[in-house]
Amino acid sequence: MTTPKNQYWKSLEHLENSEAFQDLYVRAFPEEHQDASIPVSRRDFLRFMGASVALAGATGCRRPVEHIVPYVRQPEEIIPGVPLRYATTITTGEEAVGVVVESHEGRPTKIEGNPLHPGSGGGANSLHQASILNLYDPDRIKRSPDTWSDFLDFWRDSHGAAAAAGGAALAVISEASCSPSLTRLKSAFKKAFPAARWATYEAVSDETVHAGVEAATGKRQRLRYHYDRASVVVALDADFLLCETDNVANSRGFAEQRRIRNRGGSMNRLYSVESAFTVTGAMADHRLRLRSADIMAFAETIARRLADHSIAVPGLDALGHGLTPVDDTFVTALVSDLVANKGKSLLVAGRRQPAEVHALVYSLNAALNNIGSSVSCIAATDRETPDLADFAALVREMASGKVNTVIILDGNPVFNAPADLNFTDAMKAVENSVHLSSIANETTQLADWHIRKSHYLESWGDARAGDGTLSLVQPLIAPLGESRSTIELLYLLVHGKEKSGFETVRETWKAIIRSGDFERTWRKVLHDGVLAGSALPESSPSVDLSSLTALLKARARSGADTSGVEAVFLASPAVYDGRFANNAWLQELPDTMTKLVWDNAAVMSPSTAEKFGIDRHRHDGLKPVDHHMIRITANGRSIELPIFLLPGHADDSISVYLGYGRRDGGRVANGVGVNTYTLRTLNAPNFVTGVQAETTGEMYKLSTTQNHHSMEGRPLIRETSLAAYRDGGELHPALIEGPPLKSLWKDHNYSQGNQWGMTVDLNLCTGCNACVIACQSENNIPVVGKKDAGYGRELHWIRIDRYFSGDENNPQAVHQPIPCMHCENAPCEQVCPVQATNHDKSGLNVMVYNRCIGTRYCSNNCPFKVRRFNFFNYTKATPESAKMANNPDVTVRSRGVMEKCTYCLQRINESRIKAKLDGKPLRDGDVVTACEQTCPVDAIVFGDIADPQSRVSVAKSQDRNYVLVGEINVRPRTSYLGKLRNPHPTLAAATPAEHHSDAH
Amino acid sequence: MSSTADSTTVRPPLISGNQTFSTITQRISEIVEIEVQKTPKAWFIAFGISSSLAGGMGLMIAYLLWEGTGIWGLNQPAGWGWAIVNFVFWVGIGHAGTLISAILFLFRQKWRTSINRFAEAMTIFAVICAGMFPGIHVGRAWVAYWMFPLPNQMDIWPNFRSPLLWDVFAVSTYFTVSCLFWYVGLIPDLATLRDRAKSGIRKVLLGIAALGWRGSNRQWSNYEKAYLILAGLATPLVLSVHTVVSFDFAVGIVPGWHTTIFPPYFVAGAIFSGFAMVMTLAVIARWIYKLEDFITMRHLENMNKIMLLTGMLVGYAYACEFFISWYGGNPYEQSIFINRATGPYAWAYWTMVSCNVLSPQIFWFKKCRTSIPVMFVVSILINIGMWFERFVITVTSLSQDYLPSSWGYYIPTVYDVGIFIGSFGLFLTLFLLFLRFLPMIAIAEVKGVIPEADPHHYDH
């Protein structure tokens, strides 16, 4: 950098332009010195490939070598074109989910759940699926000045002084974790720096759950829910199927009680009481719309009613009178179910709810004998749990200048700390700040040092699952760019010298694997992904009355006014707390209920919107209408965001997703949506009551992928009640009867070989969107952006349709995944003028991309509109690095061609080839489609319908099986199993018997 | 008394103003022979505007090919939008030419002679405009030629079951026969112009174009036979082209498309819109070039009568569609028709009904039928209405099909509108060039219908 003579100088140093100043300048304005135009060069890519091949060898139970070797001699296990799979673990806060990652020539491309891991059971949610894209995020791996060696120098200098001072004026802000190695390093840190401060912060966490359980039992415990053992589930503001910790395992357990195989089957009953309309609410047999602030009173009502049934609820005396007015029939039915199912019910409260709700819910579970059966506790071993009060105290110390050096281990407190903490000012008051972060985010901009954090696919680590089972995090690729894992940085902080994460984790595990041959067990853990038998013992602690009563009484004393309109802060199912905001797949993932993409909004019920002067039918029409902006003010802070009307949302409640409105979140994240953290305060981090709200008069365009919300009485999602089904009742709406089916054309011959088909059990599908992202990852589906998604041009090969039915104010919602139906008499094939879409012998409707000229006639003629068209060259915008996430087995489509679900043809062929090499016929389950594989509830079944024993044939033989628009003789291969609801007999009458078309 | 039957002794003559053979030749030829400087100013202004529009369209098409069809308002579910609407619209307009030329010729309707030439020209230009749209609307326009059955080393053929392929054959056949028919009809007139030409180049060019026409009896005899055969060939095409175009929709399974009434309904609509366009152009040409003696009120009135008839035919088709959707009991079908009339596109539906069914009813009154301003306005309304008919069929049906989850609303972009307007520019540019350089009225044929053509005319 030189300063030309005729340029203005900003300071004397600038004029002098010394080396020291240049250094400072580069660090102060890193953006100017990054070469963003070349994310990864070919040379680098080859280097990384070589590195990953070396590591693949290391991770594949071979010599743990960490050199970068050129790809000169072919490693023994690598056959070009044949992917390898490795087990690792994804951790998000305290949640650990084991996954198996597919790697092509050392390049990870696809995440799948690990069937051996209790947090997964083979399934994975959309965040896990999409995390592969974060690995190749160009904003994460772009070049930057090499700060690591500078930092090493800095820390070597500071380390001694800090250690000498016992760590006084040193502080660490960490994220929640469940890693034994991190726990070990943290205690080493405490030993090395006894006076240092260590606070843990997560914007979205289970802190209140832990606090509630601690108050109820008197011990720090971690709750375990066994949904597979519960006949009655009561979810209090808890979206346990999608947004709570361990949602994959929860869904799997819940589905166990929901699976119907014949008319004699039985299933659980789910009550949901919630403010926002979530997928759990949509799955519920009975749903009560209630503000989040009223959940405590509702729980008290349950407690009081249980007491009326002579069930002693511990802590009853400290409770208020409950909710008034309350839907009496609902509560009566719920309580009668709880009483009738003692020991087989499960109450769960969401993490948005305060500690006292969780304490009371624990007490209720105890009163109902559920503790020890459907609910249990395990020790909080190896867990770093967040503590908001402790974090706030540290921030105040930082602001007062007591902290000299702060080390932020990932996270983004500048963006997501409670607004009234003024974290920004506190951080500025600290002399040295170090930020470990994958992307240079809002916090990094204020930090003196940025240490790039390795992706979990680039680093070693370990984790404990929800039941305590241990698993390893192993890298599949060398870091793409200079980066360190949390473990590596923490080791350096403690010891003042570097050590590889691999060695640190092995050291930890040497203490864990004490019996037997360490190497052998270690390799087995690497191979399986879990250490068998390492689950922590379950306990069923009884209620500690004194601490429970103390908490409940403290709440009663505070007597906070919770009336008025509330604003509820929700973790987004797409971007979570904001950490996935730079992930384009997730930004374009239609929200489960609103179907919004690329935005967050102030979601409220139509009745509440009317209070703000919005016509409740404003958005009913097909024609997109701009959305009103609303200003929400609480405690002197306000945010402005567009109003979205969602039937079924609780009245007087506005729910907003967190994590949007990023300023420095990366090229995808920046400017998408509105930052709602600015409304969150220390006292009300999850919901705030008594907010003022008014429309600003401004308008905003939102993009949704579904514009019409009624089934119009058509037999698309067919359902009935469990009782009616057991009595031989039929699904409704009834199928449409047409004239006798005759085709103009000669039928294909389907008598030879495998005949592929699919079923989707609508009774199990929660609408969680995992299949959508799994398909996107497997099939190289590009994103199209907000504007095009609003036109309906999104390219998802499988989509989730969501319909409302029943009462306009309190509708039921249903979800239906729609992949290509692979019609045996496919209407798309006949109309293509160039024969670009054809049928193969196994019943697949296949696309020949090379032949397609893009008339879109096939899409017009598709009754399901599953054919998606490349209106633009959508892959053009894909950054060079993100192209590495592509599946090499699937063609990347060009502009102007039609594409659609292939039933994962590449997977069929892979299995077919393997079977042929093995000289065996394909067996049922050899071919697993991406959507089927990831589905946490196994709602999707794929297989050979010519084999009467196959799972799909068995599913199709159920009398709930039906196809969409079968009366026009398209003969779809994808069929649906009708949905059942299990209403309480006294509430059944109130359940809508028919689908109405009121709700749009 | 019928004004379409010709009994020259009783009825007023088809050509007025005491025209003789020489005045007819002179009046019509002078329009194309005029010096550049003396070309009417109105022509230059019109040509300037229309060629600019056509040029603008060219730029937009270039951008379209560069970026992709996403620049249009197309969406999922509406994979077809204005491009296909415009295609059907222009093909429809291209119907009147052949109808007037061939069918009226076979039926010995001599009043056709004054308007058949430019009706044929209009047909060809309209089919050019129409043919452009399927070419540019595909996603990969550079391989659109794959729709033709071209032999290739991979032995890949187009899909003969696809109505789009039938379309390719139908439209290209129609275009070829229309061009031939037009050109054969032009030969005697080109020879007339050749004989009158003064400059050398003009003589040579016209001489080549006239194919050595000398006006001998043998040539006339061959000419008449060829013309009759071509008329015979062209006549079924009038019915077949739009029948095949309607198959694009009728063969699809989309509710609102999948109906057997489409072939006759489309043909009636095409004739309707074709006559409306002929009327619009005839009124303007007649006014600019003062051709009242050749295109008389009798011609115009006859065309208005045809529009009244075909307007009622399409009105019947609209009613019939509703009846059948109710009678057929198919809920998807019922839903789409209720949505057409009351749903988000109701404005388009009712525009269509008022323009196509209501506005021609005014022609029940002779006063209106013979009023130039009334027929001009009504012809424009019919053109608008017929465009909307195609919009209603194409877009509303696609927008609300089987699964309500995929329902959407189609909003055109500036490129949809621009290319449509530009296609008018192209059409008018070609038409103005035709007016300027070729005889717009068939000189030889008109001579045949004046009283002097009767061999016994001078016997009286």
The full 3-state SS of chain B, as one line of letters, equals CCCCCCCCCCCCCCCCCCCCHHHHHHHHHHHHHCCHHHCCHHHHHHHHHHHHHHHHHHHHHHHHHHHCHHHCCCCCCCCCCHHHHHHHHHHHHCHHHHHHHHHHHHCCCHHHHHCHHHHHHHHHHHHHHHHHHHHHHCCCHHHHHHHCCCCCCCCCCCCCCCHHHHHHHHHHHHHHHHHHHHHHHHHHHHHHHHHHCCCHHHHHHHHHHCCCCCCCHHHHHHHHHHHHHHHHHHHHHHHHHHHHHHHHHHCCCCCCCCCCCHHHHHHHHHHHHHHHHHHHHHHHHHHHCCCCCCCCHHHHHHHHHHHHHHHHHHHHHHHHHHHHHHHHCCHHHHHHHHHHHHCCCHHHHHHHHHHHHHHHHHHHCHHHHCCHHHHHHHHHHHHHHHHHHHHHHHHHHHHCCCCHHHCCCCCCCHHHHHHHHHHHHHHHHHHHHHHHHCCCCCHHHHHHHCHHHCCCHHHC
Task: Report the pLDDT value the prediction gives residue A599, as an integer from 0 to 100.
Answer: 93
Task: Report the pLDDT value the prediction gives residue A993, as an integer from 0 to 100.
Answer: 43
DSSP-assigned letter for residue A573: T
Mean pLDDT within A869-893 = 90
Q: In this complex, is the C-beta atom of A899 within 8 Å of any C-beta atom belonging to chain B?
A: no
Probe site for chain A from B85, B342, B405, B413 (most A CB atoms < 10 A): B405
Probe site for chain A from B87, B165, B406, B410 (most A CB atoms < 10 A): B406
Check CB contact under 8 Å for A968 and B165: no
Q: Using alpha carbons only, how large is chain A's radius of gyration in Å?
A: 28
Task: Report the pLDDT value the prediction gives residue B12, as an integer from 0 to 100.
Answer: 58
pLDDT above 90 as % of chain A = 64
Task: Report the pLDDT value the prediction gives residue A992, as an integer from 0 to 100.
Answer: 47
Q: A939-973: per-residue pLDDT in tens?
A: 999 999 999 999 999 999 999 999 999 888 899 99
Neighbouring C-beta atoms of residue B319, cutoff 10 Å: 12
Cα gap A294→A324, rounded to integer Å: 10
In a domain, B404, yes or no: yes
Lowest-confidence segment of A500-504, A738-742, B143-147, B322-326 by average pLDDT:
A738-742
> Does A719-739+768-988 match A560-704 at the fold level?
no
Instruction: Write phi, then psi, for A784 (nearest 5 degrees).
Output: -115, -15
Cα gap A396→A400, rounded to integer Å: 6
Which pTM was predicted?
0.89
pLDDT by residue for chain B (460 residues), tens only, comes to 445 555 544 555 666 666 777 777 887 787 787 777 788 888 899 999 999 999 999 999 999 999 999 999 999 899 999 999 999 999 988 887 787 778 878 887 777 777 788 888 888 999 999 999 999 999 999 999 999 988 888 888 999 999 999 999 999 999 999 899 899 989 999 998 898 888 888 889 999 999 988 888 888 888 989 988 988 888 888 888 889 999 999 999 999 999 899 999 999 998 899 889 888 988 887 887 777 877 888 888 988 999 999 999 999 999 999 999 899 888 899 999 999 999 899 999 999 999 999 999 999 999 999 899 999 999 999 999 999 999 999 999 999 999 999 999 999 999 999 999 999 999 999 999 998 888 888 888 877 777 776 667 666 5
Architecture of domain A719-739+768-988: 2-Layer Sandwich (3.30)
Lowest-confidence segment of A770-774, A985-989, B142-146, B321-325 by average pLDDT:
A985-989
DSSP-assigned letter for residue A576: B
Helix (H) or strand (E) holding A279: helix A279-283
- Nearest chain A residue to B258 by CA: give it: A861
Check CB contact under 8 Å for B157 and A835: yes
Q: A336-375: per-residue pLDDT in tens?
A: 999 999 999 999 999 999 999 999 999 999 999 999 999 9
Task: Report the pLDDT value the prediction gives residue A232, as an integer from 0 to 100.
Answer: 94
Instruction: Write phi, then psi, for B126 (nearest 5 degrees).
Output: -65, -40
Quote the minimal CA–CA distance from B165 to chain A in Å.
Answer: 5
Quote the minimal CA–CA distance from A573 to chain B in Å.
Answer: 21
Task: Report the pLDDT value the prediction gives residue A50, as an integer from 0 to 100.
Answer: 66
pLDDT at A999 over 90: no
In a domain, B350, yes or no: yes
Which is higher by pLDDT, A137 or B116? A137
pLDDT at A53 over 80: no
> Would you place residue A1 in the very low, low, confident or very high pLDDT band (cuts 50, 70, 90)?
very low
> Would you place residue A998 in the very low, low, confident or very high pLDDT band (cuts 50, 70, 90)?
very low
Distances (CA, A) of A342 to A223, A229, A265, A305, A372: 19, 12, 21, 15, 12
Domains of chain A: which residue ranges? Answer: 1-26, 42-140, 146-205+387-528, 208-257+267-379, 560-704, 719-739+768-988
pLDDT, chain A, mean: 88
Check CB contact under 8 Å for B68 and A896: yes
pLDDT at A27 over 90: no
Number of domains in chain B: 1
Mean pLDDT within A13-39 = 67
Cα gap A479→A501, rounded to integer Å: 12
Quote the minimal CA–CA distance from A996 to chain B in Å.
Answer: 13
Cα gap A600→A74, rounded to integer Å: 49
pLDDT at A641 over 90: yes
Cα gap B180→B178, rounded to integer Å: 5
* Residue B20: partners with Cβ closer than 8 Å, 6 or more residues away: B450, B452
Which is higher by pLDDT, A143 or A607? A607
Quote the minimal CA–CA distance from A382 to chain B in Å.
Answer: 46
pLDDT at A14 over 60: yes
Check CB contact under 8 Å for A852 and B139: yes
In a domain, B7, yes or no: no
Task: Report the pLDDT value the prediction gives residue B17, as an integer from 0 to 100.
Answer: 63
Q: Which residue range forms the structural domain that includes residue B106?
A: 21-452
Q: Give per-residue burial for A858-897: e unless 16+ CB within 10 Å, then b.
A: bbbbbbbbbbbbbbbebbeebbebbebbbbbbbbbbbbbb
Query: Which two three-digit tokens encode residue B95?
Result: 């119907």
Instruction: Find out whether A605 and A647 touch, Cβ atoms under 8 Å.
Output: yes
If we measure between CA atoms, which residue out of B301, B428, B309 comes closest to residue B372? B301
pLDDT at A494 over 70: yes
Residue among A710, A792, A898 minimizing CB distance to B75: A792
In a domain, B443, yes or no: yes
Residues in chain A within 8 Å Cβ distance of B141:
896
Sheet with A602-604, edge to edge strand ranges: A687-688, A566-570, A653-657, A602-604, A637-645, A627-634, A692-700
Check CB contact under 8 Å for A856 and B330: no
DSSP-assigned letter for residue A597: E
Residue among B77, B159, B409 minimizing CB distance to A833: B159
Task: Report the pLDDT value the prediction gives residue B263, as an integer from 0 to 100.
Answer: 92
Task: Report the pLDDT value the prediction gives residue B5, as an integer from 0 to 100.
Answer: 53
The class of domain A42-140 in CATH terms is mainly beta
Mean pLDDT within A372-390 = 91
- Nearest chain B residue to A735 by CA: give it: B331
In a domain, B172, yes or no: yes
Q: A424-474: per-residue pLDDT in tens?
A: 999 999 988 999 999 888 999 899 888 899 999 999 999 999 999 999 999
CATH number, residue B295: 1.20.1630.10
Query: Which two three-digit tokens encode residue A259?
Result: 């699976």
- Judged by CB atoms within 8 Å, which residues 376-415 of B form the interface with A? 398-409, 411
Instruction: Find out whether A172 and A162 touch, Cβ atoms under 8 Å.
Output: no
Secondary structure class of A564 (helix, strand, coil): coil
Check CB contact under 8 Å for A861 and B159: no
Q: In this complex, is the C-beta atom of B25 within 8 Å of any C-beta atom belonging to chain A?
A: no
Task: Report the pLDDT value the prediction gives residue A994, as an integer from 0 to 100.
Answer: 43
Task: Report the pLDDT value the prediction gives residue A482, as an integer from 0 to 100.
Answer: 84
In a domain, B458, yes or no: no
Mean pLDDT within A810-820 = 93
Neighbouring C-beta atoms of residue A340, cutoff 10 Å: 12
In a domain, B1, yes or no: no
Residue among A709, A716, A830 minimizing CB distance to B162: A830
Secondary structure class of A527 (helix, strand, coil): helix
Check CB contact under 8 Å for A857 and B76: no
Lowest-confidence segment of A267-271, A553-557, B356-360 by average pLDDT:
A553-557
Mean pLDDT within A614-642 = 90
In a domain, B4, yes or no: no
Q: A279-326: per-residue pLDDT in tens?
A: 999 999 999 999 999 999 999 999 999 988 888 888 888 887 888 788
Cα gap A355→A495, rounded to integer Å: 38
Check CB contact under 8 Å for A791 and B147: no
If we measure between CA atoms, which residue out of A915, A862, A904 comes closest to residue A758? A904
The class of domain A146-205+387-528 in CATH terms is alpha beta
Architecture of domain A208-257+267-379: 3-Layer(aba) Sandwich (3.40)
Residue among A623, A861, A895 minimizing CB distance to B139: A895
Q: What's the topology of domain A560-704?
A: Barwin-like endoglucanases (2.40.40)
Cα gap B268→B261, rounded to integer Å: 11
Q: In this complex, is the C-beta atom of A965 within 8 Å of any C-beta atom belonging to chain B?
A: yes
